Structure 1
Amino acid sequence: SPEGIAALQAAKPLAEKKREAMAKAVSVSERAKIDLSAEYRHPMPFTDCADVPDNAYPDGDIADKAIAHLQVLKDKPFFFAVGFLKPHLPFAAPKKYWDMYTRSQCAPSAVKDWPKGMPPIAGSNWGELLGYANGAKANEPDVARQLIHGYCAATSYVDAQIGRVIDGLDRLGLRGNTVIILWGDHGWKLGEYGAWCKHTNFELDAHAPLILDAPGCTQGRRTQALVEFVDIYPTLADLCGLPVPAACEGTSMVPLLNDPKRAWKAAAFSQYPRKGDQVMGYTMRTKDWRYTEWIDRKTRQVVARELYDHRLPGMELVNLADDPTHAGTVTKLSAQLAGGSGWKAVAKGVN
């Protein structure tokens, strides 16, 4: 409403409100995680299954607190960030969510090796998992199935907690004028390439969930458009009728809500480092390709390249960057990536 927009404009900037809300959400999450880990001796197990209520684990407790806090927020415009822990490690969830799956359903990937021709710098040592008891045995079949089972259980557990918070909005009559954006901060490997966790520029790690629900928008639509997390801020501002600050690097996704098949960004960009901060891997995903350059941050020289064909089904399996038949594609995509700054031209190209 005009009154609501005016109230938002008079309030603190969205970025500041977001920082404050995230700080509160993270403090709840971190405190809960510390309490949970205190039950274990180091190193702790990578899964946990107990026949307990949802709020016996941190995410259920976070959902309880979020639902209660909606009562405080309900009578005025608000921004509320709720941060859940799962499905991060450890894969801990009440038994009923484990019971939704059988161990036989949790078969590990048949792809056990890194992509053919991959430069060594592009791989990862899945060190996060190695910090847990038996983490080094993750590629043993029974251990892999246990991990995948735990990931599925943890995902269903957090899905239920998200549903509880949305139900809380419904009970308060807030759903009709509330924008909901759900996202995860990264993808995840569950034994693909014989590897686990994240920490790479591959599609499995860079492609993350993003679901948006806004008043007046048709539900259940999907888009193949390339979007980025930097697009979230301008999208929220746009939906609230607020000006998008010029400093924003993203693009409002509102046009996609009404026309999911419309022309959109030519590429999406992300990056992940190696050797501390010595080498940065800049990666760009277009409709047909993923192109990555590993650049020495001192010399600005490209030390390795990767090119994967997404016109083919399935995972990124063959690095084509050194294939002479794709030299023209590498030249074109390298110019578009522009040493990691190509996002500027792509963002400007969206109308």
Structure 2
Amino acid sequence: MKQQFLKMFIFSMVFSSFGFSQSLTTQKNVKSQKPNILFIAVDDLRPELNFYGANHIKSPNLDKLAGESLIFERSYCNVPVCGASRASLMTGARPTRNRFLDAHVKKDEDYPDAISLPLLLKQNGYQTISNGKIYHYGNDDAKAWDEIWTAAALWTYALPESQEIRKNTPRGLPTEIADVPDSIYRDGKLALKVIKDLQKLKTSNKPFFLTMGVAKPHLPFAAPKKYWDLYDRNDIQLPESYVQPETTPKQAFHNFGELRQYENIPKKGDLPEDLAKELIHGYYASVSYIDAQIGLVLDELKRLNLDENTIVILWGDHGWNLGDHKLWCKHINFETALRTPLIIKVPGKTKGQKTDAITEYIDIYPTLAELVGLKSPNSVEGKSFVPIINGQKSDKNWAVSKFKDGVTLIKDDLFYTEWTDDAGVAYARMLFDHKTDPLELDNLAEKPAYEETVKALSKELREKWGKDFLTK
């Protein structure tokens, strides 16, 4: 009996030791494996979201992600237009007088020698997958990706009659309300593709850089009816800043040509109030629709137990005007086009903290590189915000954004913009103090009391807009 007991004791000790050894090996593998990155880019998403204080927006999935992330209250794109903003972010390089100018930018043409973020990751063992709209053109920076996927443009609209109108007009209808499943539209198809990718990547022995380039809330504002039903149009009001003060230079405004290309939009002048409210309603519905699609992906990430070793970053490529300054779309130097939503979830480090540190989009590249233990190439001009993630205070209090001739220095609460010629000589300017004028309605630049402030900001703008600004 004693001999049998002894055998059982020895067997149990050996088994326990084996299990303990396996546990240590598993822990070691988890620690040594580079973290994955889920990279969510959202087109035309302004920071009018619940977790930024806009409690009228229904975005439970983004709110949940924000509660597990670091939320940047003062994040700014470097160029307020899709193609240029994305190329700048993906290379970590500033726009210049002649680089990263408009929506139709290609990284391969504007900065072919730059090692992009996905290429750096691919060169260091990551599996890289581009889904949806990451660059403006799907085949841009092709060597950086193991796979490139986009949904057919046909599914921008769900209804056959809307699709037919689109085929025969420059842009189609500006809105669509369709009682259809989420998966009919491009972003619904995108979510299903990203979910399939996660399921395949679960068994891979390589870390992944998986992207989800969400199309909405870019025009047209087309979403399933149930998301329109979340909002009562009678509650929607035009923004308080629905005005164009005479003190603001004319260069600050545009004719929102992007929107004018859609059917039933007047070719000039202010929009009728009913139409303006319909567009705002459609924008909100589109935000709630993409919130649901992102939620499906995040739920699958968790179901597969990939969330504990996956960094999740979500950003909108620039802001958007919803009647602010009587403007629509982006393409301008007001804060409504420059300020952007940015949140990053780093397992074990973030849990819903907020930071008011001023951050630029060129800072995203060096941050993600540092988080996965890689050194950024010399072409990267941004500054890593890993110290902020680690709870340290930022020593950077400025950002620079540019659109065409307009260049904006954001310095603490001051927003200073100059419109300059090829030689860098200013021909118009505006200055707003957000402490007293957050809606940017009182241009201080031409007031005698601010002459010295303008001189100092003008000098600092040139020091910070980049050493190659006028030459490249």
TM-score bin (small chain): 0.7 to 0.9
Give distance in 2, aligned partners of 1:343 and 1:214: 33
Give distance in 2, aligned partners of 1:148 and 1:185: 19
For residues 275-290 of structure 1, the aligned pairs below 5 Å read 280-290=405-415
For residues 46-65 of structure 1, the aligned pairs below 5 Å read 46-65=174-193
Greater relative contact order structure (CA < 8 Å, 6+ sep): 2
Residue identity in the other structure for 2:188: G
SS of residue matched to 1:39:
helix
> 2:440: which partner in 1?
316
Give the structure with the higher percent strand: 2
**Residues 115 and 316 in structure 1, CA contact (< 8 A), matched pair in contact too:** no
Give distance in 1, aligned partners of 2:284 and 2:437: 24
For residues 72-151 of structure 1, the aligned pairs below 5 Å read 72-74=200-202, 75=204, 76-136=206-266, 139-151=271-283
1:235 aligns with 2:367: yes
Give distance in 2, aligned partners of 1:227 and 1:6: 23
For residues 201-216 of structure 1, the aligned pairs below 5 Å read 201-216=333-348
**Residues 129 and 196 in structure 1, CA contact (< 8 A), matched pair in contact too:** yes
Note the alpha carbon deviations across 1:286-319, whole angstroms, 9 max, x for none.
221001111101x332111111111125311011
SS of residue matched to 1:312:
coil
SS of residue matched to 1:223:
strand
**Residues 121 and 209 in structure 2, CA contact (< 8 A), matched pair in contact too:** yes
> 1:331: which partner in 2?
455
Give distance in 2, aligned partners of 1:301 and 1:182: 37
Residue identity in the other structure for 1:303: Y
**Residues 156 and 222 in structure 2, CA contact (< 8 A), matched pair in contact too:** no
Offset, 1:116: 3.8
> 2:152: which partner in 1?
32
Offset, 1:53: 1.0
Give distance in 2, aligned partners of 1:22 and 1:303: 44
Give distance in 2, aligned partners of 1:145 and 1:269: 32
- Structure 2 residue corresponding to 1:268, chosen from 380, 390, 399: 399
Offset, 1:258: 2.9
CA pair 133-17 structure 1, distance change in 2 beyond 3 A: farther
Give distance in 2, aligned partners of 1:234 and 1:57: 34
CA pair 296-233 structure 1, distance change in 2 beyond 3 A: same
Alignment RMSD: 2.6
CA pair 173-258 structure 1, distance change in 2 beyond 3 A: same
CA pair 115-108 structure 1, distance change in 2 beyond 3 A: same
> 2:33: which partner in 1?
4
CA pair 105-202 structure 1, distance change in 2 beyond 3 A: same
Give distance in 2, aligned partners of 1:233 and 1:264: 19
Percent identity, aligned pairs only, is 43
> 1:277: which partner in 2?
none
SS of residue matched to 1:82:
strand
Offset, 1:244: 2.6
**Residues 320 and 326 in structure 1, CA contact (< 8 A), matched pair in contact too:** yes
Give distance in 1, aligned partners of 2:173 and 2:396: 42
Give distance in 1, aligned partners of 2:307 and 2:414: 38
CA pair 115-285 structure 1, distance change in 2 beyond 3 A: farther
Which of 251-260 and 320-329 deviates more?
251-260
Offset, 1:246: 2.9
- Structure 2 residue corresponding to 1:66, chosen from 169, 194, 213: 194
- Name the larger-Rg structure: 2
Offset, 1:29: 7.5
For residues 148-163 of structure 1, the aligned pairs below 5 Å read 148-163=280-295
> 1:220: which partner in 2?
352
Give distance in 2, aligned partners of 1:284 and 1:22: 35
Give distance in 1, aligned partners of 2:284 and 2:154: 23
Offset, 1:110: 3.8
Offset, 1:248: 1.4
Aligned length: 333
Residue identity in the other structure for 1:32: A
**Residues 118 and 128 in structure 2, CA contact (< 8 A), matched pair in contact too:** no
Note the alpha carbon deviations across 1:33-52, whole angstroms, 9 max, x for none.
23435713125211111111
5+ residue gaps, structure 1: 274-279, 345-351
